[in-house]
Amino acid sequence: MTTATVIGSNGFFSVIGGHTYTDEGSDPLSITVTDTLNSATLPRSGSVTVAEGDTLTAHTVTFAATTGTLFSGTVATFTDVDTASPASDFSANINWGDGSVTNVGTVTGGAGTFTVSGAHT
């Protein structure tokens, strides 16, 4: 819970507060304004839409594969300015470029640095 500031006069007031959100999404918001002269309260609720804070940067990865032999390894790396995002926040689809079905890759890493791995023959 955070204490806010009430400003205004003549029956028109604004409630000003601050908070840092850890991830994007829609979060519930509730406030209670209390009249300190008579202890009357005015509860209100709503929601806050928090915008995406991630900025992703792809990095070039070169790998070699052999025809008819299973390749398994890193196919991509990327960084995220939001170093609190876990690997579970991301998904990856791999198009191997040979007309085969697109595969789901495995994203690992954290602290802003991630690797995408996959396997394909």
Tokens for 37, please give them: 């002269």
List pLDDT tens digits, range 6-22.
999 998 999 999 998 88
Average pLDDT over residues 27-39: 92
Position 11 scores a pLDDT of: 87
d(CA 90, CA 87): 6
Looking at per-residue pLDDT, the higher value among 3 and 92 belongs to 92
Q: How confident is the model at residue 41 (pLDDT cuts 50, 70, 90)?
A: very high
Cβ distance 80 to 92 under 8 Å?
no
Tell me how far apart the alpha carbons of residues 63 and 110 are, in angstroms, rounded to a whole number: 22
- Can you spell out the DSSP letters for 16-82? E-----SS-EEEEEEEEEE-TTT--EEEEEEEEEEPP---EEEE-------TTS-EEEEEEEEEES-
**Tens of pLDDT, residues 42-76:** 999 999 999 887 899 999 899 999 999 999 999 99
Residue 41 pairs with which residues in a beta bridge? Answer: 34
Query: In this predicted structure, what is the pLDDT of residue 59?
Result: 95
Do 112 and 67 fall within a single domain? yes
Domain that holds residue 77: 56-120
Record the pTM: 0.63
- In a shared domain, residues 61 and 42: no
Q: Which pLDDT score, from 0 to 100, does residue 82 have?
A: 87
Task: State whether 45 and 60 are in the same domain.
Answer: no
| Boundary of a domain, candidates 50, 69, 85 | 50
Q: Are residues 65 and 17 in the same domain?
A: no
